[in-house]
Amino acid sequence: MNFASRFRAAFIAFAAVVGLATTAQADSGFVTLTIYKAGWIIGGSGGGGVLNFRGRSYSLSTGGLDYGLVFGGSKTVLRGRVSNINRPSDVAGVYGAAGAGLAVGRGARAIVLTNQKGAVLELTGQQVGLMANADLSGLAITMR
């Protein structure tokens, strides 16, 4: 093999590696979720939202269960960033959290969650209602 052929082969191999590395990098998007929650010892939540990713909007559904000290009902609107995703469906999955809170009227809420695919939600927002909780909770997000 002459020098030009070796150089060409090395260049093609380098371009392939760089191409794979750039396509494998995770991206981020923005999420808005509205979650309704109610319970007495065992609680449930449900709602929906929107994922904005690479210039497109995707509808989301949420649902979950809480167990522990749960009392009351509330509506929470959360907005924030989702990171470490390659495609919109990476947002779908089960997110788990342990938390405590109290909302009487209006209250601020902030949470960071990770699902089994590695998607990370960093959300903040407002909670309205009467809700006291010290619980383990799970939130499932699905694509509509």
- Residue showing tokens 């209250």: 107
pLDDT in tens, the chain (144 residues): 565 555 455 555 555 555 444 445 789 999 999 999 898 878 889 999 999 999 999 999 999 887 777 788 889 899 999 999 999 999 999 987 655 666 667 777 788 889 999 999 999 988 888 877 665 677 899 998
At 102 the pLDDT is 62
